[in-house]
Amino acid sequence: MSSRAWAELVHAQVGVLLAEAGLPCLHIKGPTVATWLYDEGERSWGDIDILLPPSAMDAALDVLLSSTFSLRDEGLRWRTSEDHALTLWHDPHHDATYGNGELDVHHRFPGIDADPELAFAELWRRREPHRLAGYDVWFPDLPSRALLLVLNAARDPYGAKPREDLRRLLAGASADDWRRTIDLARRLRALDALRAGVELEPESQDLVASTALADVEVSAAWRLRTSGSTRTAVRLEELRRLGPLAKARAVAGWVVPSPAIIRMRDPRAADSAWALARGYATRYRQGVRELRHWVRERRS
């Protein structure tokens, strides 16, 4: 069986498991783009990405971890992780029916600044049915897919697939398509990230000038992201936009991350206590280097 067929089966397995538990689940990225902007077999996709409301995360993880999935990074918790998703492994030895792969369980999507619970409710309200491997699953509607596609490109400006997805969207979307996508971005507080992503492609100039995006100011953090700046530089700019309490929590998490986060960033840190200490030291050295680079950039 092809890798595409395996991927469809795992997607279907996830959708069925969560649907049977009464939990809302949107499939995002890979198949939602491949079945829309590409011909059959033209764009590969393997790993699974789903979006859930934060209120369903714990129940969904219980369901998935009780089946054929396990945590990729032991000890990592979605509530305290720096990331927008928690990654699970699918173990083919436990159930070879569905093959191997990673499952990213998203509780928010970078670029959407609306409350994650409310943002999911809006995307869920607009959902569309789709079939993968003969099973019913839920995809975002086309304006939602377009928004998530552009935000994904903005997060990964040098990724080959996200950039090709963006080029195809820009080539095929109509003025009315963009109006609906921009309206959705406004409701989800994602306009600056949307403009930042669209502007990755030079041919988007006319689109920006002729739509409401022309009046949108892109934040410094998203300018840094789309220019490929360092993680530290982006975080420092994001920090400037937070309130005092959120800022204190963020700084504490960055300065003293959990051992699980260190092991996630550097798998070698799981070998021993000494290796974990080296992982912390490496993180701090990298942070200092990136901080100095950020200071030089702001002075220039």
Q: What DSSP string runs through 191-204? A: HHHHHHHHTTSGGG
**Two tokens at 277?**
């200490």
Does residue 92 sit in helix, strand or coil? coil
Count structural domains, the chain: 2
Residue 249 has pLDDT above 90, yes or no: no
Query: Which residue range is the domain that position 115 belongs to?
Result: 3-140
Q: How many CB atoms lie within 10 A of CB 127?
A: 17
Kindly state whether residue 270 falls inside one of the protein's structural domains. yes
Q: For strand 85-90 and strand 69-71, is the pairing parallel, antiparallel, or unpaired?
A: antiparallel
Kindly state whether residue 31 falls inside one of the protein's structural domains. yes
Q: In this structure, what CATH number is given to the domain that contains residue 18?
A: 3.30.460
Residue 125 has pLDDT above 50, yes or no: yes
Q: How far apart are CA 134 and CA 71, in angstroms?
A: 27
Handedness of CA 159, 164, 170, 174 (dihedral sign): negative
Kindly state whether residue 162 falls inside one of the protein's structural domains. no
123 CB contacts (<8 Å, ≥6 apart)? Answer: 26, 51, 140, 144, 188
My answer on whether 118 and 242 are in the same domain is no
Model confidence pLDDT, tens digit, residues 135-178: 999 999 999 999 999 999 999 999 999 999 999 999 999 999 99
Of residues 76, 61, 109, the one with CA closest to residue 267: 76
Q: How far apart are CA 47 and CA 103, in angstroms?
A: 6
Kindly state whether residue 11 falls inside one of the protein's structural domains. yes
My answer on whether 127 and 253 are in the same domain is no
Kindly state whether residue 221 falls inside one of the protein's structural domains. no
For residue 237, what pLDDT is reported? Answer: 77
Model confidence pLDDT, tens digit, residues 98-114: 445 789 999 999 999 99
Residue 1 has pLDDT above 50, yes or no: no
For residue 252, what pLDDT is reported? Answer: 67
Model confidence pLDDT, tens digit, residues 182-196: 999 999 999 999 999
Question: Among residues 87, 110, 140, which one ends one of the domains?
Answer: 140
pTM: 0.84
Kindly state whether residue 110 falls inside one of the protein's structural domains. yes
- Beta strands across the sheet bearing 69-71: 26-27, 48-51, 101-106, 85-90, 69-71
Question: Among residues 79, 110, 140, which one ends one of the domains?
Answer: 140
Question: Among residues 140, 159, 190, which one ends one of the domains?
Answer: 140
Share of the chain above pLDDT 70, in %: 83
Kindly state whether residue 125 falls inside one of the protein's structural domains. yes
For residue 262, what pLDDT is reported? Answer: 65
**If pLDDT is split at 50, 70 and 90, which confidence band does 45 have?**
confident
